[in-house]
Amino acid sequence: MRLATWNVNSAKSRLPRLLPWLDQRAPDVVCLQETKLSDDDFAATLGTALAERGYAVAHHGQGRWNGVALLSRVGLDDVVRGLPGEPVFTDGGLTEPDARAITATCGGLRVTSVYVPNGREPADPHYPFKLRWLAALRDMVAAGDPATAVVAGDMNIAPTDDDVWNRPAFEGSTHVTPDERAALTALGATGLRDVMRERWPDERVFTYWDYRAGRFHQDQGMRIDLVLAGDVPADRRAAVWVDRAARKGKSPSDHAPVLLDLDDAPDGDAGPVVPPPSSPAPLVRKA
């Protein structure tokens, strides 16, 4: 089973990159972030193309900002939008929570696609909001079965100083503060493992590069898109990698996808058997 996460920075504008990527990499479960579409617009824009490829879809959007989705070819059950008790950014006059998390059971795993708040600056009210949101995420994972959980997405936290290209450049910025890293540690303490760092403990691994200043070309990025996996999926890890090719070329997202390949479960239970779609999508689609 192949699971992927990708902050696409607008599903609509990324459509010419997203659909060929799905055909090329053929992930079974996809966590998307920053779709920047309402549920209706997501269905209208991508629904048919995803159904043709055999994906069941669950989207949690609000329109202009944020928006997360789950695509699955191995079942998509018990969908939950948002986080129980998640904070609302009332400082900004909002009365509804942002669309930043969606959870479903896919292939026997409890998968959450997350778009963690940016935080802006440590002195900004968005920063404590980010910490409160992360606490709500931790609580949800702890209340479930962490062993079978996968939390994947744009965490907007670099776990260590090795996860940013130039630590001094981030002095005084969010994404590297002790409080954010403590929140990430608390989330991991529920029983989730950073499978990328387990596999590549000493490598330079980035998932995001600013559009400006030729950052990608110089590999000056950050590792902020994480796959945090409970013991059941983490122990089945066959491969985990950053799809840098998706960050190249015409009109890319500023984030690259992260892919996790899992071996079949040792007892032979690879999750529910899902029949192929009524009109199977060809492996390579005509232009």
Q: Which of 39, 98, 154, 163 is catalytic?
A: 154
Q: Containing H/E element for 188?
A: helix 178-188
- Give the total of residues touching DNA (CB under 7 A): 30
Q: Containing H/E element for 94?
A: none
**Residue 177 within binding range of DNA, rule CB under 7 A:** no
Gap between the Cα atoms of 91 and 97, Å rounded: 12
**Residue 143 within binding range of DNA, rule CB under 7 A:** no
Gap between the Cα atoms of 276 and 233, Å rounded: 24
DSSP class per residue in 22-88: HHHH--SEEEEE---S-HHHHHHHHHHHHHHTT-EEEEE--SSS--EEEEESS--EEEEES-TT---
Q: Which of 2, 10, 108, 241 binds DNA (CB under 7 A)?
A: 10
Closest to 160 (Cα-Cα) out of 203, 113, 106: 203
**Residue 213 within binding range of DNA, rule CB under 7 A:** yes
255 is catalytic: yes
Residue 266 C-beta: closest distance to DNA, Å:
37
Q: Which of 39, 59, 60, 115 is catalytic?
A: 115
Is 34 annotated in a binding site? The answer is yes
Interface contacts to DNA, rule CB under 7 A: 7, 9-10, 12-13, 34, 36, 63-65, 92, 117-118, 120, 126, 154, 156, 174-175, 208, 210-214, 222, 224, 251, 254-255
Q: Which residues are catalytic?
A: 115, 154, 255
Q: Which residues are annotated as a binding site for Mg(2+)?
A: 7, 34, 154, 156, 254-255
